[in-house]
């Protein structure tokens, strides 16, 4: 079994906030409320998921409507790759890790079908040995089971693996499993240090060396 690097998706491998915000705003506009979320300004909320965006929008509009979550998902799926992009160096880093002999996997709290569609649309799904989404199992991160399943499907050794993420959820997942966590701090205002990661990177060209230091 090989050493394995497990990536979160939203906010780690790819900036998906533009398409997520567009989907949420489409829901608000369909209700006649106009756009409620602002690209860039509301990026961190978008990367926490659909319900976080809807809650913020409803709060700003003085209304509520959690039943619109399915409408958000439908709009998002139809427009999933219009504004989304891989972070600089991400693809080169993944390919470098593969050439170094590591297994590479994705463990995300995005629904599996959406994650599969997005990675395929971006043309990089075949670079990853496995992909586990929010609904692949009956639990999701920070429960350790999805992470363990991602490593197992990548034919990896959990004891010789680590997670790359961007949120407290990823840090908690690593602690639940007992593996190192590397958090990305691509934006100047991101305070990922408060989650006490084993390492922080600000560009993907730093990651291969950090992986070698942490798991060999």
> Where in the sequence numbering do the catalytic residues fall?
8
**From CA 125, how far away is CA 86, in angstroms rounded?**
12
Best CA proximity match to 172, nearest among 202, 209, 147? 147
E-strand spans in 52-102?
Answer: 85-86
Residue 103 has φ and ψ, to the nearest 5°, of -80, 145
The answer to whether 183 and 171 have CB atoms below 8 angstroms apart is yes
| Token digits of residue 116 | 């599969």
- 85-86 and 103-107 beta bridge pairing: unpaired
Beta partners for 103? 4
Find the DSSP H helices in 49-125: 50-61, 69-78, 90-99, 112-121
Q: What is the largest CA-CA distance in the chain?
A: 55
Q: Given its phi and psi angles, is residue 178 left (phi above 0), alpha (psi -120 to 50 degrees) or beta?
A: left
């Amino acid at each position: 079994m090989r050493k394995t690097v497990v990536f979160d998706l939203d906010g780690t491998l790819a900036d998906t906030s533009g398409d997520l915000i567009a989907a949420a705003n489409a829901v608000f506009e369909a209700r006649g409320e106009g756009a409620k979320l602002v690209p860039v300004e509301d990026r961190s909320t978008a990367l926490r998921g659909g319900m976080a965006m809807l809650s913020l929008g409803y709060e700003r509009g003085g209304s509520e409507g959690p039943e619109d979550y399915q409408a958000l998902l439908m709009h998002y799926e139809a427009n999933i790759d219009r504004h989304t992009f891989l972070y600089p160096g991400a693809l080169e880093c993944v390919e470098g890790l593969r050439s170094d002999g590591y297994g590479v996997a994705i463990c995300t709290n995005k629904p599996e079908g959406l994650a599969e569609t997005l990675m395929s649309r971006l043309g990089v799904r075949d670079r990853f040995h496995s992909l586990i989404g929010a609904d692949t199992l009956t639990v999701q991160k920070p429960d350790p089971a999805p992470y363990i399943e991602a490593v197992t499907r990548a034919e990896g050794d959990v004891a010789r693996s680590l997670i790359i993420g961007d949120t407290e959820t990823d840090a908690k997942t690593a602690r639940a499993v007992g593996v190192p966590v590397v958090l990305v701090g691509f934006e100047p205002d991101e305070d990922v240090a408060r989650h006490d990661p084993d390492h922080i990177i600000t560009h993907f060209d730093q990651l291969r060396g950090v992986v070698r230091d942490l798991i060999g």
